[in-house]
Amino acid sequence: MFQLTIHANAGRARRGVLAMRAGNIDTPTFMPVGTQASVKSLTPEQVRQTGAQIILNNAYHLYLRPGVELIERLGGLHRFQAWDGGILTDSGGYQIFSLSPLHKVSEEGLAFKSHIDGSAHFMTPEKAVEVQQRLGADIFMSFDQPIPWGATHEQTAEATQRTHRWALRGKSAWRPETGQVLFGIVQGGFAEELRRESAETLVATDFPGYSIGGLSVGEPKEVMWEMLDLVTALLPQEKPRYLMGVGTPTDLVRGVRLGVDMFDCVLPTRMGRNGTAFTWEGRLNLRNAQYEMDAGPLDPHCSCAVCRSFSRAYLRHLLKAGEILAIHSLSYHNVAFYEQLMSRMREQITAGTFTEWAEQFVRDYRD
């Protein structure tokens, strides 16, 4: 039921189809982020219209509110949010570390307090898998210990090895007969030997797919690319690779060039809420006065509903007036642009022209 079939290669870039219980996903793919079981300001039908086939939900937030029991009783995440495509959830480890500053790490798991109401919770690797399975995700993540930029080698090694032990415990709690799939998360910080150890350990554990975590956490971009280059070369060719929480349009192109199949990032909707659009000519801030009388479309090279309907001047007016339609329109366009970018990359890989196209895109694009 879960299988990645590669149809074309361009160097390390791959164009394929990921068969899963929710249907087929064209890869490389971008997953819009629906933290609270909602891609901000967009209906599920509109998310589909952008070309998205799979979205990301946040297990930590949904565990706290509205709770696993409610979502499970109402039919799981697909029915709960009226989304018939694929759903991937993260395990919540990153959110616990970032949103609960008084968390306590032990070998057993993570003790933390809710950022919503201060209530006390304890998450183990087994519970993290159980929560995500009960939520009804198609793909979900092992519980890991994220490693911040600037951690010492000793701290990084300890957290990485704990992540490996937690991965084994989480895998023992996974019920594959449901058709739901568990990914391992490669950690290792920014030490080459620890990244290599993490990749090799998780590959030996034999997960259906592999996530690459702990990147884009404050490190210089070139350091991130060095680590990604190292890790993707160590992961199995026949299994999907997911780069977590990255990134800008050029980040996606560089990630695909290194063999990544799956991406998620909050940037399309976050930048939309801030009045910024991603276009084929680069990033565009509609709050700038130069667009006040601009009758042209948001992006003349985009065919989405927003670009077919509204001028830059009108969208700028909506922003200045505080109209919700501005946030919706820019978020819709940005998600559509990201999906168009992934489609363009799949076309270029199939045509055998991806390497040259990617070099030019990374060189010229202003993101």
CA distances from 16 to 108, 128, 316 (A): 38, 29, 39
| Amino acid code (one letter) for 44 | P
How many helical (H) and strand (E) elements, i.e. helices and strands, does the chain have?
15, 16
* Ranges of each domain in the chain: 3-264, 266-367
How far apart are the C-alpha atoms of 280 and 333, rounded to whole Å? 12
The pLDDT value recorded for residue 1 is 84
Kindly report, residue by residue over 312-337, the tens digit of the pLDDT.
999 999 999 999 999 999 999 999 99
The pLDDT value recorded for residue 101 is 86
The pLDDT value recorded for residue 248 is 98
The pLDDT value recorded for residue 322 is 98
Catalytic residue among 138, 251, 261, 264: 264
Task: Tell me, yes or no, if 264 is annotated catalytic.
Answer: yes
Kindly report, residue by residue over 32-91, the tens digit of the pLDDT.
999 999 999 999 999 999 999 999 999 999 999 999 999 999 999 999 999 999 999 999
How far apart are the C-alpha atoms of 278 and 269, rounded to whole Å? 10
By the 8 A CB rule, do 113 and 140 touch?
no
How far apart are the C-alpha atoms of 198 and 250, rounded to whole Å? 26
Residuewise pLDDT in 10s, the chain (367 residues): 899 999 999 999 999 999 999 999 999 999 999 999 999 999 999 999 999 999 999 999 999 999 999 999 999 999 999 999 999 999 999 999 899 988 999 999 999 999 999 999 999 999 999 999 999 999 999 999 999 999 999 999 999 999 999 999 999 999 999 999 999 999 999 999 999 999 999 999 999 999 999 999 999 999 999 999 999 999 999 999 999 999 999 999 999 999 999 999 999 999 999 999 999 999 999 999 999 999 999 999 999 999 999 999 999 999 999 999 999 999 999 999 999 999 999 999 999 999 999 999 999 999 9
Structure tokens, 276: 């910024």
Residue 299's closest CA among 315, 318, 287, 317?
A: 315
The pLDDT value recorded for residue 242 is 98
Crossing angle (nearest 10°) for helices 312-321 and 324-351 = 140
Residue 324: HSE in the Cβ half-sphere, 13 Å Cα cutoff: 3
Architecture of the CATH domain 3-264: Alpha-Beta Barrel (3.20)
DSSP state letter for 204: H
Catalytic residue among 84, 90, 229, 299: 90
Q: Which helix (H) or strand (E) holds 363?
A: helix 354-364
